[in-house]
Every structure is written in C-alpha cells, then in structure tokens.
Amino acid sequence: MLRRGHRGEVDMEGGAAKPFHDDEGGGLDMNAPTSFGMPSMSSGIQSLNEPDPATFESLKQVILVAGAAGSLLVLFIAGFTISFVFLVCMASLWYAADMTSWILSSPSGTRDMKVVADAIREGAEGFLSTQYGTVGRWSLVVAGALFFIYLIRPVGEGAHVSSFSLALLTVLGFLLGAACSGLAGWVGVWISVRCNLR
C-alpha cells in the first residue's frame, strides 16, 4: 500500500508529484531491470517502430486516384456491378490506410516497451518467413498438380478455350489468390506488431 512519504515521487494524474513510500515492505525500486533477459536493442529502435507518416499519406493518395480512375475504366468496360465492387474495395483500402496512419502517428511508448515490441516483431517476422516458405513450396506443388489435371481433362463441346489455356488460367488464378492471401497476412502482422505499442 502506497502512502505519502520521502522515498520517491509518482505523478499519476498529471498534477504535481507527491512523495510516497512502501508500508508493506515490498520495495519501490523504480529502476529495476526490465530487459526480461533479452539483449539490448538500443540502436535502431526508433526506425523499426516508427514508420514515416508521409508514406501512408502518399499511399492514401495513390489509392484514391487509382480507385477513381479504375472505377471509371471498369464502369465503361464491365458495367455497374463490377465497378461498384471495385469502388467499395478501393474505399476500404483507403480507410485501412487512413486508420493505419492515425494509429502509427500515436506515441510509441517507453524505450523498454520498444525493446519488448521489437522482440515480438522479430519473432513474428521470423515465423512468417518460415511459414510462407513452406506454404509457398506446397503452393507450387499444388499449382503443378492443378495444371496437369486441367491439361488432361477433356474440354466441353461449347468451350472456346483449349485445355492448355484453361489449365494455365486456373493455375494463374490459384497463384494470384494465394499471393493476395499471403500479402493480406503479411500486412496484418506488419501493422499489428507496430500497433501493439500504441
């Protein structure tokens, strides 16, 4: 239980700090080590956890221009429904970039918090590298199997594409979907490990 005394000061509400001491004898060592057995990461902490806010402002502008131009292009080529879906996707990306910029512009905590956050970030990025390496190799195996299956599969009478074209388009669609899924996972982890401090 803390009460006023002569051993230290704490300012919890932002007013004037008042002295206190420990009645229960547990100690009030405010300088206790907080490295948790991890090596010091004093160099580069600021650059690792503080992305440049101008990057997100530029990204928001690119998304806004690409969304407007793409929507007009898709509207003239494919019609209203696809154009509306594309516009909603671009608006969602712009909102995500705006929220990311807002969160990452917040204060990033104390130096000790940054040390712990950097260890978490390194662990998460190492895990993703290992996981994506394995998933990437298996995706290539599955893509090869899909290509072979669609290549030997007979094409229907009304089809206007060859077996090779169908196999190639199927594999490209599969790989594009896998790449987008992987990118979404990587971006989610990249943002979350940097937002932990805020």
Are 65 and 94 part of one and the same domain?
A: yes
DSSP 151-172: HHSPPPTT--S-HHHHHHHHHH
Give the residue with greater pLDDT, 2 vs 81: 81
Helix (H, G, I), strand (E, B) or coil at 62: helix
Provide the sign of the torsion angle of the four alpha carbons 49, 123, 39, 197, taken in this order.
positive
Q: What local confidence, expressed as pLDDT, does residue 25 receive?
A: 52
Q: What local confidence, expressed as pLDDT, does residue 80 receive?
A: 75
pLDDT, tens only, 104-120? 888 888 888 888 888 89
Are 62 and 92 part of one and the same domain?
A: yes
Cβ proximity of 124 and 193 under 8 Å = yes
Type and span of the H or E element at 4? strand 2-10
Give the residue with greater pLDDT, 125 vs 17: 125
Among 71-80, 165-174, 189-198, which range has the highest average pLDDT? 165-174
pLDDT class for 36, splitting at 50, 70, 90?
very low
Asked whether residue 26 carries a pLDDT value surpassing 80, the answer given is no
Are 100 and 114 part of one and the same domain?
A: no
Are 123 and 183 part of one and the same domain?
A: yes
Tell me what the mean pLDDT of segment 166-174 comes to: 93
Question: Domain span at residue 180?
Answer: 109-198
Asked if residue 11 is part of any domain, the answer here is: yes
- Report the predicted TM-score, pTM, of the whole model to 2 decimal places: 0.57
pLDDT, tens only, 178-191? 999 999 999 888 88
Among 40-44, 64-68, 87-91, 167-171, which range has the highest average pLDDT? 167-171
